[in-house]
Every structure is written in C-alpha cells, then in structure tokens.
Amino acid sequence: MIHQHTRSPLITPDPPSPTNWRRRAACRYSDPELFFPRGRNQHARHQTEAARAVCHTCPVVDQCREEALTMQRDDGVWGAMAADERRTLKQQRTQAAHRATRRP
C-alpha cells in the first residue's frame, strides 16, 4: 500500500493592511466610551486625559493618529489627540505643505 503524504498549508501571518494595527492597539480591551468624552466640563477633561494615558502606552499610537487625520474623525481621542488638536495639526500640515510648494 502506498501512502501519500499531503502537506498542510503553512500558517502565514496576516498580510499588511491599513487596519492590522488595531489588533495591537492598547485600547482594544478598553471601554470605547472612554475615548469619546462628551462636553467640555471637568469630567470630560479627566476622561480625555485617561484616554490619552492609554494612548501613551500604545505601540501603534502613530498609526491611529494618522488614520484619524486621514479619515477626518471629528470626535473622540485618537492617537493621544482630541479632535480640536487633530484639526490644528491638520491645518499646520496643510500650511507647511503650501509654504513648501511656494519656495523657489
């Protein structure tokens, strides 16, 4: 009797994709509400700081911030930045890009 041996497929890591970073995010087990404070009162400020504390331990904080900027996330804490901070950063980047293109 001849036995045929078949190879099982090799397990390979997930191919790179724009959202794979989320699997490594420090916030993946946190309550999502933490990252979406409501209002501008003291409780909301404390909540924002608590969310940032999680972000500051995160290995993918930069990817998170860039996605928030690219996807124009208008609320919440993403990449350790609140929405108003992301708007300011985006404006600064836009202005810098315009200045760079005007130089001879």
CA 96 – CA 37 distance, rounded (Å): 30
Helical H runs in 1-104?
42-55, 61-70, 83-102
Taking the alpha carbons at both ends of the chain, their separation in whole angstroms is 80
- State yes or no: 58 annotated in a binding site: yes
- State yes or no: 27 annotated in a binding site: yes
- State yes or no: 55 annotated in a binding site: yes
Binding-site entries: 27, 55, 58, 64
Binding-site entries for [4Fe-4S] cluster: 27, 55, 58, 64
